[in-house]
Amino acid sequence: MTRPTTIRPLLGLILLGGPASVSTDAQAPVTLTRWEGPASPSSAGRAPGQAMFLLRARARWSPDAPGERDRYELRVTLPDGRVGRRPMRPEEGPGSLVVTFPVPADSVRNLLPEAVNVEVALVDPTTGTPMSNPLVADISRFPNPGPPPSRAPTGPFDWGRPLSPGESGSGALPRSCPGGWRFVRVASTPDRPGFFVATTEATNRQVADLLPDHDPDAGRSDEFSLDAPEQPAINLTPGRAEAYLAALREADPAGVPFRLPTRAEWERAARAGRNAAYWWGDAPVFPDGANFLGPEPGEEADTTAPESGSGDGFLANPWGLVHTFGNVAEWATGGDGGSAFSRMGGHFRSEPAQALEPPVVDDPAALGPDPYVGLRPAFDLDAATGAELIRRQLADDPELAGVGVSFDPDAASATLSGPVPGTEARRRASERLRSLWFLAAVVDEMRTPVRAPGRLASIGGVAGTPTPTRLLGRTILRVPVSASWDGPQPVAGSDWWLNVYGPGGAHWAYRLDAGEPGKPTLLLAIPAGLVGPDGTARVALSLGVPATSPEEPRVVSDLAMLKIRGG
């Protein structure tokens, strides 16, 4: 006799057909950065059979994110591709540190662990336009019995150390990018997004490497020596500065989107986050704090300092940036009214106070009041954009194309998750990311299977004396057997069935008690009539429904031959 299963409907979400599209829009007003722990079960306020799992995602809201809660809707894409949409919870909304996504329990139970893949995002309720990046939860984010430690080598193949800006507000990337640039991460805050900014100004050498016609002496009438390779580049109009950044983007195999900093970003970085006129305080320092030599009349020996930041008597600011004030002015986007370009920080011929009143230039082909202006690159890399650049490094390897990727911009770290076919593939995924200079660290949460595909458990031999009992007029043998459970297990609450295959194609099945999966010993109930003439019984476990044949896909264990009695 085979007991039928009951397929319960997915409730609690409005389900729409078709899979969700994945957006990596860097301009989305909300960034879902990571999961806030594993999902928790909930049935509060719901009828029996409508249990949900609650997935909590950490959220970061951009300063210009719409502030009305009805501008956002939760979108949940279930493992079978169906999409559910519903309003945000009443206690959550714009500015919430955590956004909760409900997942119908029946949509993730009774699935093989590798099939559990739930994607969430915030969308516009009217148009469906993504309002956040997508975030994916696999089996590791749902309650499950969990296997014993794997017997196979599993790594982890972590490397590096994540940035920890902490109270300082910034952290330095440990590696340079093509062209020798070093960058620091200016950490995000609740009201301001983070960004990356170079520690130095562009040098004549760096600019000439990508713009061969760069000439720091063109059109100048002064007698200053400003053309040494390691001196800061001058004579750069906004257009020339952006041409250099475009060439730097083209030369960078990592695909980082270099740009000029905005005026607000420049001021924040130059002052190392302080509410003061300069990074050293409000009083002008002349000339010890920065390379301010003052206006004419000057001396022929007056010059700019090299960008090495050492041996010139000028200190880096607390975030590691050198020559933010003085030396040469630096272009930033956004002048008065938020347009055009601003010359930031003054230069070696400026009075310190002049650095606080940056000239604004509307013409991208103009230098402004003098030729002593260059640039300091910056770039954005939010969670979605960074993850996409990382995926590109893995996409051409068939064994790595499905690896889950998340990126934490403030930590400059990548987390790799999901199953990979073997230890070598797992190591290869981690090592491939070493070429991405914007990463300070890789965290390995990938899983390597130690079992045959589709096999979650193994049934061992009889572990004790079978005990007969009578049930509904038939003799049932209670047989203790050993069991082992390999790899990640299905979501807690999944239905496990014990199938007994007797002579002549006879089949009998029953559902295991909820607490039995994962135990080292199972007490099986086997009808005496299904024990063969040789005293053996054939048994196997299936997931979700009974399996009338041991060859059915729902069988998730080996077919065990149990010696129950002599014969």
Model pLDDT for residues 89-107, shown as the tens digit of each residue: 999 999 999 999 999 999 9
pLDDT tier at 4, thresholds 50, 70, 90: very low
SS3 for 263? helix
Res 248 pLDDT > 60: yes
Q: Minimal CA–CA distance to 79: which of 115, 44, 54? A: 115
Res 223 pLDDT > 70: yes
DSSP 125-173: TTT--BSB--EEE-GGGS----PPPPSS------EE-----GGGTEEE-
Give the pLDDT score at 45.
45
SS3 for 101? strand
Taking residues 343-361, report their average pLDDT: 91
Amino acid in the structure at residue 220: R
CATH class for the region spanning 382-447: alpha beta
Structure tokens at 289: 């704090």
C-alpha torsion angle, residues 450, 451, 457, 461 (rounded to 10):
-100
Amino acid in the structure at residue 53: F
Taking residues 369-396, report their average pLDDT: 95
* CATH number assigned to the domain covering 457-563: 2.60.40
Listed in order, the ranges of the chain carrying CATH 3.30.300 are 382-447
Give the C-alpha separation, 212 to 57, whole Å.
48
Model pLDDT for residues 195-218, shown as the tens digit of each residue: 999 999 999 999 999 999 999 999
| C-alpha neighbours within 13 Å on the C-beta side of residue 252 | 22
DSSP state of 458: E
Pick the CATH number of 195-379 from 3.90.1580.10, 3.40.50.970, 3.40.50.300, 3.40.640.10: 3.90.1580.10
Taking residues 539-558, report their average pLDDT: 94
Higher pLDDT, 556 or 450: 556
SS3 for 291? strand
Give the C-alpha separation, 194 to 187, whole Å.
5
On whether the pTM is more than 0.75, the answer is no
Listed in order, the ranges of the chain carrying CATH 2.60.40 are 14-141, 457-563
Q: What are phi and psi of 160, to 5 degrees?
A: 80, -175
Is the CB of residue 73 less than 8 Å from the CB of residue 88? yes
Give the C-alpha separation, 383 to 388, whole Å.
9
Give the pLDDT score at 335.
55
Listed in order, the ranges of the chain carrying CATH 3.90.1580.10 are 195-379
Cα angle for residues 343, 345, 347 (degrees, 5° grid): 90
Give the C-alpha separation, 67 to 61, whole Å.
10
Model pLDDT for residues 316-339, shown as the tens digit of each residue: 999 999 999 999 999 999 855 567
Structure tokens at 11: 């409730």
Q: Minimal CA–CA distance to 443: which of 430, 460, 425, 462? A: 430
Alpha carbon 518 to chain centroid distance? 31
Domain 14-141 fold is Immunoglobulin-like (2.60.40)
Model pLDDT for residues 292-325, shown as the tens digit of each residue: 887 666 666 678 888 765 546 688 999 999 999 9
DSSP 84-97: EEEEPPTT--TT-S
Give the pLDDT score at 451.
62
Residues in contact with 558: Cβ distance below 8 Å, sequence separation at least 6, in sequence order: 455, 458, 459, 540
Length of the chain, in residues: 567
Higher pLDDT, 1 or 504: 504
